[in-house]
Amino acid sequence: MHINTPADMAFPADHRCLATKSRLSPWLAPLIYAIGEKLILPTYFRKIEIIGQENIPREGPVVLAPTHQARWDALLVGLMGKRAGRYLRFMVTADECLGIQGWFIRRLGGFPVHVRKPSVKTLRHGVQLLKDKEMLVIYPEGDIYKDGIHPLKPGLARIALRAECSKPNLNVKIVPISLEYSERDPKWRSAVKARIGKPMSVARYKTGSIKVQSRQLTADLQSKLHDLAEMA
């Protein structure tokens, strides 16, 4: 399928990308989600507190936008998705989609992106997932940071806006999520707290220049993530 890209929504190509399609294994996904929820997470962490679970929509196109501090983030966000009755599609860095880890990631809905030079195919795939009303996970900072929230990358807003503009009444939502560990590097029996913000409606940003609105959406998301992180 070819999608025309307006000049102010152009994405740089990167022919080094791995296969961009994501899929969910009908047997592996339920198994891993169950093991993560019942065994891995409660065994490793002494306390897991999730505030605002009700803010995750149970249907429709959704982008979960969590802060990224540790490798545990994916399992924790997956737990939130499972509690909402949904499986997730993850946009992950290309390096994480190699080897045996990559084999699992690709069968659990993950697909690779080169953060510095995201390919057109990867971003189109993200758009298509939202058009198909899937729940997509994008770490808006683009990498793991342990010293606070860093400036957000523009890709999340571009994908969400492009999807919203491509189909009438799609109603894409972005859900900001702040993850906070009791240890800088989560250790055995440490604690974790997740604060889930209210969904942001992408349709509010459709009016005017897409380039300008993408910047505004990114800025508003950053502000909401900061607000969540600063809550007592």
pLDDT at residue 162 greater than cutoff 90: yes
Look at strands 88-93 and 62-66 and give their pairing: unpaired
Instruction: Write the CATH number for 63.
Output: 3.40.1130.10
DSSP state of 140: T
Q: Largest alpha-carbon pair distance within the chain?
A: 50
Phi, psi angle pair for 18, to nearest 5°: -80, 180
Q: Is residue 112 part of a domain?
A: yes
pLDDT at residue 146 greater than cutoff 50: yes
pLDDT for the residue 232? 54
pTM exceeds 0.75: yes
Q: Is residue 18 part of a domain?
A: no
pLDDT at residue 11 greater than cutoff 70: no
pLDDT at residue 13 greater than cutoff 50: no
Give the total number of structural domains in the chain.
Answer: 1
Q: What is the pLDDT of residues 64-111, one digit of tens each?
A: 999 999 999 999 999 999 999 999 999 988 877 788 888 888 899 999
**Burial classification of residue 182, based on how many CB atoms lie within 10 Å of its CB (0-12 exposed, 13-18 middle, 19 or more buried):** middle
pLDDT for the residue 1? 30
pLDDT for the residue 10? 40
Domain of residue 165: give its range.
24-229
Q: Is residue 99 part of a domain?
A: yes
**Cβ atoms 229, 197 nearer than 8 A:** no
Please give the residue that has the higher pLDDT: either 46 or 103: 46
Q: Is residue 45 part of a domain?
A: yes
pLDDT at residue 9 greater than cutoff 50: no
Q: Is residue 38 part of a domain?
A: yes
pLDDT for the residue 97? 79
Q: Is residue 7 part of a domain?
A: no
Please give the residue that has the higher pLDDT: either 20 or 182: 182
pLDDT for the residue 156? 96
Q: Is residue 10 part of a domain?
A: no
**For residues 203-217, average pLDDT:** 93
DSSP state of 39: I
pLDDT for the residue 94? 81
Q: What is the pLDDT of residues 184-202, one digit of tens each?
A: 999 999 999 999 999 999 9
State how far the Cα of 193 lies from the Cα of 175, in Å rounded to an integer.
Answer: 16
pLDDT at residue 166 greater than cutoff 70: yes
Q: Is residue 5 part of a domain?
A: no
